[in-house]
Structure 1
Amino acid sequence: MERRLTAILTIDVVGYSGLMAKDEADTYERLRAERNNFVEPTVATHNGHIIKLMGDGALIEFPSVVDAVSCAIAIQEGVAKRQIEVQVDQRILFRIGINVGDVIVEEGDIYGDGVNVAARLESLAHPGGICVSRAVFEYTRGKVDHPFEAMGEHQVKNIPDPIDVYRVTMQNTVGKPPPTPRPMFRWLKLGGGGITAMLAGLVLWFQPWQPTSSPLPLQEFQAPADRPSLVVLPFDNLSADASDDYFADGLTDDLITDLSGLSGLLVIARNTAFSLTDQPVDIRDVGRKLGVRYVLDGSVRRAGDRIRINAQLIDSQTGDSLWADRIERNASDIFAVQDEVIRHIVETLSVRLSLSEQKRLERLPTQNLEAYDYYLRAEHAARTGFRPQLNEALALYTKSTELDPEFARAFAAIARTEAYVMRSNYDDVLAFPVARKRAYEHASKALKIDAELSLTYSVLAELQVIDGRYEDALISAERAVALGPNEAEAYAALNLVHTFSGRHADAVAAIETAQKLNPNLPNGTRLDASLAFMLNGQPERAVSILEQARDAAPNVDEIYTYLVAAYTLADSIELAHAAAAEAERLEANMSVELYRMKFGHLRRAEDLTIVLGALAKGGLQKWPWGFDAGTREPLTADEIRHVTFGSIWQGNVEGIGPGVTQIGTDGSLAFRTNAYIATGEVTISGDMLCERVESLSLGRTVCGPIYRNADSLVEGEYMYTYVNATKVFHFSPVD
C-alpha cells in the first residue's frame, strides 16, 4: 500500500442543485466551460494534478502547499472577475478547502483522513472563499500575498477531533464571508483576590450552530405604546488594547440580560443588538427598524485595575439625550457599575419595578466568584455545541455547583445543556435516558433555589413537550414568559409547546412576539417558527423565514429538509426537489422516516401527516442512504417472526460498516457495530419489524420492513435487508 504526504484541495460549486433545477442544460454547459477554460489551466499552471472530477466538484493534489493555496486564490479571484456580469442567482461560485496530510494512493485515487478533512474544510468556506487547516496555515504563512483569518475550532462530521480552521482573506471575490464572531468569553481579574471571572452575557438559550449575528436586513416594527422600549447597542471599546473588545461586549451582554427581566420595559434581544456591531449607526433609523423608542449607547475604557464607562440614553424619535454619565470604578466593582446604569435607566423612563424585580436586581448570581468563574467557562464551552466541549461544559458546571450548591443559574444552565444533548441524541456524551433524567433533576434543583428563573421553565417546557406532557409544558412555557416578559427565548418555548400541542394560531402569535423582541431570531427558533407557519396554513411565511435561516447557515442539512416541506406546501415543487437534493447531499441519512421519528411528539396525527406528506411529495427520500427496494419483496409478519426471534444476524450497516444483531426469543435486542453498542427490544407491527433502543432515536420506536434479496446470491452478498428511520442493515442469519 503506497502512502505519501501531499497537499489536498477540494472544490465544489455553491448551490449546484438549485442551478440545475432552474436550467439543467445551461448550468452544465457553463460549468463545463468554466472548468475547461479556466479552472483546469489554472491548476496546471500551479503544478496541480486533478485526481478526479465529481459532478460539481473536484479533488486536486499538489506537491507544494504554497502552490495549492496560490492556485485556490487565483481560481477564486479569476472566477469573481468572470462572474461579475452574470445575474446574481445564476452565478457559478466555488467553495475551496485545503489540507496537507498523509494519504493512501490506490489505482490513481487518494484516500484517508487528509482527504476527508479537506472536504470538511471546503464545506465551511463561504461562496467564493477558501478555508484551510492549521497545518496549511503554518506552511504558507508569509509565503502568499493574502493574510489569513482564524475561524477557531470546528467539530466536523466523521472527524473525531475538532480542527483549527483559517480562511484566506480576499477582497476581489463575488461571495462575502460571514462575520467572524468575536470571542464573547475572556478573562477579567476581579479585585486583589486574584480570582478570575469572565464577563459575558448570560444568554438564556443557545443555538450552537448559529452565527452570533446575521447581515440580513431588519424588518421594521412599531414601537409598543404600553411600555417603554429599548435597545442596548454594543458598547465601544476605547481601551488601548483592541483585545479588550470582550470587556465591552460582556458589559453589553449583562445589561441586556438584567434589563430583559423587567416587565415594565421591552428590550431587544442580544443577537439582534449585536448584529449592529461595527456598523455606522443612525439612532433614529435604529429606533424605526427595531420598533424601539429609546437607545442606550456607550463606551468603556479599561486601564489596569480601573474601568471608565460613558453611557447615554437617547430618545430615537427626537435624538435628544435623556441621561448621560461617566462612571469610573475599580474593575472588581463591575456588577455595581451595571447596577448603577440600570437604575439610571429605570428612573429616567419611570419604570415601575415589582418587589420581586427589585430583589432580583439586588441579588448577585452567586457570592462565590470561583463558582462564577467555572460557570462562565462552562457557558463558553457549551455554546460551541461540539461534543468534546459539551463534555467539558458538563464537568465545569458540576464544579460550579459543587462550590456553590445554591447557584441556581448554574443548575438551570446544566439542565439546558443536558436537554440539548438529549434532543440531539448525543449518546456518546450522555445516553438519552441519562441526559433526560439529569436535565429534569437539575431543573428541579434550580427551581428549589430560585423559583423565578425564566430559563428553568423554558427548559422544562421543552422536556415536557418531548415527553408528550402537553398541559405541563404549557404551564411551564407560560411561566417562563411571565418571568421573562422581554425574553424572546421564553416566547420561542411557548411557540414550541403550542406547535406540537396543535394550537397553531397561538403558536404563530407567540413567535410573532419573539420576533418583535428579537428581529434577528436564531436559526433553531426560525425552524420552530416555520413549522408553526406551515401547520397554520401559512407556508409562504415558512419559506421566508427558512430562506433567512439558509442564508445565515448554508450548510445545515435540517434547514433544507424543512424547506422541502415549506416549498411543497407553497406549491413550489421544483424548489422543493432542489432542497431535497441538497439535504441528502449534506446528510445521507436524511429521510421522511427520520422525521416520522423526530416529530413523533406532534399531538395531532393529522399534523404529522401534513409534514410527512409534504416531505415525500417534495422529493425527500423515504429511507436513509437512498435505499430503494426495487423489485425486492418485503417479508410478511410470519416470515419476519421466523427470521428474527432467537436469531443472530451478521452483515453490514450503510455508512458504518460491519454489524451484528442478536435477538432473543423474548424480543430482547443487542446490536453491535464498530461505532456503538445498543440494547433494546423488538416487536412486530403489521409487516414491519420495530426496534426500541432507549439510548437512541429519542427513546422512540422505529419500524421498517425486511426485504429478501436475490434468490441466487454470490459470495459476499447478504440474504436480507432491514431498513428503518436510522439505518439500512444488509444481513444474513448465522448459527
Structure 2
Amino acid sequence: MARPERKLVAVLAADVAGYSRLMEADEAGTLFHLKALRAEVIDPKVAQFNGRLVGTAGDSLLIEFPSAVDALQFAVETQERITARNTDIPEVRRMAFRMGVNAGEVIVDDTTIYGDCVNVAARLEKVSEPGGVVIGRSVYDQVKGKVPYTLVDLGEHTMKNIAGPVRAYRVQTEERDESEPSALIASGEDLPLPYKPSVAVLPFTNMSVDPEQDYFSDGIAEDLITELSRSQSMFVIARNSSFAFKGQSVNITEVGRKLGVRYVVEGSVRKAAARVRITAQLIEAATGNHVWAERYDRDIEDLFAVQDEVTERIAWALVGKVGAAEIVRTRQTHTSLSAYDAFLRGIDATSRITEKDTIAGVEFLKLAIGLEPDSARAHAWLADAYAALSAFRADEEMKASAMQSALRAIELGDASGLAEAVVAALHGWKGDFEAAASHAQRALAMGPTNPVVLVWVGYICLWSGQLTKAREMGERLRRLSPLEQRDVHELLAFTYYLLGEYEASLDSFRRWDNNHYDRGFANLAACLGQLGRAEEARSAWGRCLERKPGFTLADYKHGSPYRRQEDVEHWLDGLRKAGITD
C-alpha cells in the first residue's frame, strides 16, 4: 500500500455569512452574485498569491497556499475588494465572507487535501466575523512581523473534534476606535436615582457560534426594554444608553451610577438550529446582589413565551402585580419567527442612522410585514424609517409612504405611540401644527418614556416655536438616555440656539455625533457665527456643501420646517455673521 503524500501548506476556509437567508430571499440573484465574485475577485486573487482551490461546496471554499503570508495577504485583499463592491448594494443583498486560516501538514488526495490542519481552518472560519479573517497560532508564528496588520489575540477556543484548545487571532487591518464607548461612559456623571423603581437592560451577550447573530441577542434585550417601558410604575433607561456598554467589561455598580438606576438586567442568548437558550438575571446595582436569575432551554418556537416570562418576572420583582399587569395588558403577540427575525434585522439596520442603512432597514421591515401583515409595530417602525429617509432625501413620496404605514399601524392598534408620533411629525413638516399637536398628545399618552416618541414630539415643539417645551423634551430624553449622543443633542443643539443660549448650543453640537446631516452642519455654522468664530463656521458650512453640493441660503430658507419666520431668520442671521452668503 502506497504511503499517502503529505506536505506543509497554509489552508484557508471561507463561507458566505447568512447564505441561507440570501438564497431564500433571491435564489437566482444570489447564485449569480456568488459566481460573479468568484470570477471577478476570488479566482484572480487565488492566482495572484499562488493558491490552489481544493474544495467547493455551495457557498464554501477551501484554498491551499504555499506560505502563510500568501494566505493572509489573499484573505485581507479579497475581503477589502468584496467590501468595496458591497458599498453600492443594499445591505439585505450584500454577500460577506468569513475566513479562517491555519498552517500545517496535510494529506494530498488527488484534487483535495485532508487532515487536522484543514479541520482547524474550518473551525477558525466560524469564529470570524462577516468580512473578517481569523488565523490560528501556527499562522500567527509565521506571519508576525512580516505583515502590516494588527493581530488581536482572541484567546483559546475549544473546537468540535479537535483534540486540544486552539488559540485564535483576529486580523485587524486598521486601528479600531474601541476606546470611545469607554471614554463616553467614564466621562458620564453619576446620576441620582428616580423616585420610581429604576432599571437598565444591558445588551444580551451573543453566545452563538455565528457572530452575525448579534442582531438577534440585541433584539431580545431591546424587546425587554420596550415591554418594561410600558409600565407607568417603572423608570426604564432607553436602548441607546444601555447599549453604550456593549462589548465593555461591565461593572454593574458603575452602570447603576452612570445611568442612575437601582437595578440592572443582563443576560445571554445562544441560538442553535431549532433550540434557544436564554439566561437573564436581575441585579441590584449598588450591592451586586442577584434579585432573580433564570435559564431557559427551549425550542425556538417557544421564544416569545420565554420573552413574556422574563419580562413578567422582572416586572414582578420590581413593582409587583401592578407593573406586570400593565405589561401583560398591552403586550402584542407574534405568530411568525421569520417575521420577527426580519423585524429585528430592520431595527438593527435603522439604528445606525445612515441613509444606506435606513434603506436596508426598510427592506427588512417590508419583508417582516410580508410575512406578518398585521404586525402593528412593524408598520410603525417602517413609518419611522420612511420618515427618516424623507429627511435624508427631502422626498415627498417617502413622506407619503411614512404616513400610509403609520396610519396602518394605528389601525392595527400600535400601543407604543411611535405611529402617532410619526403622523404628528409629518403634519408638522407640512405646517399643520394643529393636527400635529393632536397626534403628539396621543403619542405622549401612549409612550411617555419612548425615546423615539420624545424625539419626534420635541421637534414638533421646536418647529412650532414652543421652545421651552422642546427643551423639556430634550431634557427628558437626556435623563432617559444619559449616554446617548445623537438624538438628544441634535434636538438640544437646535433648541438652545433658538433660545439664544449659543454656548450651550455649541456644547450639544460638539456632543452630537453628526456625520451625515447636511442641514445639521449648516446649523452648526450659524451657531459658530453667533459666537464670532467665523473660520470654524465656514469649515462647518464646507462640510454641509460636501454632503449637498450647491446648497445655498435660499435652499436653507425654502426647506425649513419652522412655522415662525423669526426662527428661520435667526438661523440665517448666524450664517450671515459668519460671512456666508449666496
**Structures share fold, TM-score greater than 0.5:** yes
Q: Secondary structure at the match of 1:614?
A: helix
Instruction: Spell out the pairing of 1:664-703 with structure 2 (5 A cutoff).
Output: none
Amino acid at match of 2:283: I
CA RMSD of aligned residues (A): 3.9
Deviations 1:388-412 (A, max 9, x none): 8766765665565455443212322
Q: Secondary structure at the match of 1:349?
A: helix
Q: Compared with structure 1, are the counterparts of its residues 464 and 520 closer, same or farther at alpha carbon in structure 2 (3 Å cutoff)?
A: farther
> For the residues of structure 2 that align with 1:470 and 1:219, how far apart are their CA atoms?
36
Deviations 1:341-367 (A, max 9, x none): 111111111252386642223x31x42
Do residues 614 (structure 1) and 574 (structure 2) align?
Answer: yes
Report deviation, 1:503.
Answer: 1.1
Deviations 1:672-691 (A, max 9, x none): xxxxxxxxxxxxxxxxxxxx
Instruction: Spell out the pairing of 1:212-223 with structure 2 (5 A cutoff).
Output: 216-217=184-185, 219-220=188-189, 222-223=191-192
Name 1:597's counterpart in structure 2: 558
Name 1:236's counterpart in structure 2: 205
Name 2:453's counterpart in structure 1: 490
Name 1:422's counterpart in structure 2: 390
Greater Cα offset, 219-228 or 448-457:
219-228
> For the residues of structure 2 that align with 1:308 and 1:149, how far apart are their CA atoms?
32
Amino acid at match of 1:544: D
Report deviation, 1:511.
Answer: 0.5
> For the residues of structure 2 that align with 1:291 and 1:150, how far apart are their CA atoms?
42
> For the residues of structure 1 that align with 2:343 and 2:75, how far apart are their CA atoms?
42
Q: Compared with structure 1, are the counterparts of its residues 177 and 478 closer, same or farther at alpha carbon in structure 2 (3 Å cutoff)?
A: farther
Q: Secondary structure at the match of 1:307?
A: strand
Name 2:219's counterpart in structure 1: 250
Amino acid at match of 2:335: Q
Do residues 584 (structure 1) and 545 (structure 2) align?
Answer: yes
Q: Secondary structure at the match of 1:566?
A: helix
Instruction: Spell out the pairing of 1:365-404 with structure 2 (5 A cutoff).
Output: 366-372=334-340, 375-376=343-344, 378-379=346-347, 397-398=365-366, 400-401=368-369, 403-404=371-372
Name 1:143's counterpart in structure 2: 73
Indicate if the aligned counterparts of 1:230 and 1:267 stay in contact, CA closer than 8 A.
Answer: yes
Do residues 569 (structure 1) and 514 (structure 2) align?
Answer: no
Q: Compared with structure 1, are the counterparts of its residues 547 and 381 closer, same or farther at alpha carbon in structure 2 (3 Å cutoff)?
A: closer
Name 1:520's counterpart in structure 2: 483
> For the residues of structure 1 that align with 2:247 and 2:347, how far apart are their CA atoms?
25
Q: How many residues align?
A: 442
Greater Cα offset, 532-541 or 405-414:
405-414
> For the residues of structure 2 that align with 1:252 and 1:492, how far apart are their CA atoms?
21
Report deviation, 1:281.
Answer: 1.6
> For the residues of structure 1 that align with 2:258 and 2:265, how far apart are their CA atoms?
15
Do residues 359 (structure 1) and 329 (structure 2) align?
Answer: yes
Q: Secondary structure at the match of 2:281?
A: strand
> For the residues of structure 2 that align with 1:342 and 1:479, how far apart are their CA atoms?
25
Name 1:337's counterpart in structure 2: 306
> For the residues of structure 1 that align with 2:424 and 2:264, how far apart are their CA atoms?
33
Indicate if the aligned counterparts of 2:355 and 2:392 stay in contact, CA closer than 8 A.
Answer: no
Q: Compared with structure 1, are the counterparts of its residues 226 and 409 closer, same or farther at alpha carbon in structure 2 (3 Å cutoff)?
A: same
Instruction: Spell out the pairing of 1:42-191 with structure 2 (5 A cutoff).
Output: 142-143=72-73, 170=150, 177-178=176-177
> For the residues of structure 2 that align with 1:588 and 1:467, how far apart are their CA atoms?
25
Amino acid at match of 1:443: A
Amino acid at match of 1:353: G
Report deviation, 1:279.
Answer: 1.3
Deviations 1:637-669 (A, max 9, x none): xxxxxxxxxxxxxxxxxxxxxxxxxxxxxxxxx
Q: Secondary structure at the match of 1:520?
A: coil
Deviations 1:549-580 (A, max 9, x none): 2xx45565444322212222334334323323
Q: Compared with structure 1, are the counterparts of its residues 257 and 215 closer, same or farther at alpha carbon in structure 2 (3 Å cutoff)?
A: farther
Report deviation, 1:460.
Answer: 1.0
Which of 294, 315, 325 is equivalent to 2:284? 315
> For the residues of structure 1 that align with 2:182 and 2:439, how far apart are their CA atoms?
30
Name 2:259's counterpart in structure 1: 290
Amino acid at match of 1:222: L
Q: TM-score, normalised by structure 2?
A: 0.66
Q: Compared with structure 1, are the counterparts of its residues 214 and 436 closer, same or farther at alpha carbon in structure 2 (3 Å cutoff)?
A: farther
> For the residues of structure 2 that align with 1:598 and 1:214, how far apart are their CA atoms?
38
> For the residues of structure 2 that align with 1:596 and 1:275, how far apart are their CA atoms?
36
Name 2:113's counterpart in structure 1: none
Amino acid at match of 2:269: V
Indicate if the aligned counterparts of 1:216 and 1:548 stay in contact, CA closer than 8 A.
Answer: no
Q: Secondary structure at the match of 1:275?
A: helix
Q: Secondary structure at the match of 2:421?
A: helix
Indicate if the aligned counterparts of 2:206 and 2:217 stay in contact, CA closer than 8 A.
Answer: yes
Amino acid at match of 1:301: R
Which of 227, 233, 239 is equivalent to 1:264? 233
Q: Compared with structure 1, are the counterparts of its residues 270 and 155 closer, same or farther at alpha carbon in structure 2 (3 Å cutoff)?
A: farther
Amino acid at match of 1:277: K
Q: Compared with structure 1, are the counterparts of its residues 307 and 513 closer, same or farther at alpha carbon in structure 2 (3 Å cutoff)?
A: same
Amino acid at match of 1:595: Y
Report deviation, 1:242.
Answer: 4.9
Indicate if the aligned counterparts of 1:495 and 1:532 stay in contact, CA closer than 8 A.
Answer: no
Amino acid at match of 1:142: L
Q: Compared with structure 1, are the counterparts of its residues 410 and 594 closer, same or farther at alpha carbon in structure 2 (3 Å cutoff)?
A: same
Q: Secondary structure at the match of 2:448?
A: coil
Deviations 1:369-399 (A, max 9, x none): 4544554555566567777876676566556
Instruction: Spell out the pairing of 1:523-534 with structure 2 (5 A cutoff).
Output: 523-534=486-497
Q: Compared with structure 1, are the counterparts of its residues 567 and 244 closer, same or farther at alpha carbon in structure 2 (3 Å cutoff)?
A: same
- Percentage identity across paired residues of the two chains: 29
> For the residues of structure 2 that align with 1:335 and 1:239, how far apart are their CA atoms?
18
Name 1:124's counterpart in structure 2: none
Name 2:463's counterpart in structure 1: 500
Amino acid at match of 2:388: Y
> For the residues of structure 2 that align with 1:255 and 1:288, how far apart are their CA atoms?
21
Deviations 1:419-441 (A, max 9, x none): 233333365xxxx2x33333323
Deviations 1:463-510 (A, max 9, x none): 011011112212322322221232211111121011111111111111
Amino acid at match of 2:567: D
* Runs of 5+ consecutive residues of structure 2 not aligned to the other structure: 1-68, 97-130, 133-147, 153-171
Report deviation, 1:537.
Answer: 2.1
Amino acid at match of 1:456: A
> For the residues of structure 2 that align with 1:287 and 1:609, how far apart are their CA atoms?
44
Report deviation, 1:241.
Answer: 5.2
Q: Compared with structure 1, are the counterparts of its residues 367 and 150 closer, same or farther at alpha carbon in structure 2 (3 Å cutoff)?
A: farther
Q: Compared with structure 1, are the counterparts of its residues 440 and 220 closer, same or farther at alpha carbon in structure 2 (3 Å cutoff)?
A: same
Deviations 1:277-315 (A, max 9, x none): 121222111111111111112233345533333322111
> For the residues of structure 1 that align with 2:468 and 2:525, how far apart are their CA atoms?
22
Indicate if the aligned counterparts of 1:454 and 1:480 stay in contact, CA closer than 8 A.
Answer: yes
Report deviation, 1:255.
Answer: 1.4
Name 1:327's counterpart in structure 2: 296
Indicate if the aligned counterparts of 2:518 and 2:543 stay in contact, CA closer than 8 A.
Answer: yes
> For the residues of structure 2 that align with 1:160 and 1:238, how far apart are their CA atoms?
29
Amino acid at match of 1:327: Y
Report deviation, 1:612.
Answer: 0.9
Do residues 226 (structure 1) and 195 (structure 2) align?
Answer: yes
> For the residues of structure 1 that align with 2:385 and 2:543, how far apart are their CA atoms?
29
> For the residues of structure 2 that align with 1:436 and 1:298, how far apart are their CA atoms?
38
Greater radius of gyration (CA): 1
Do residues 459 (structure 1) and 459 (structure 2) align?
Answer: no
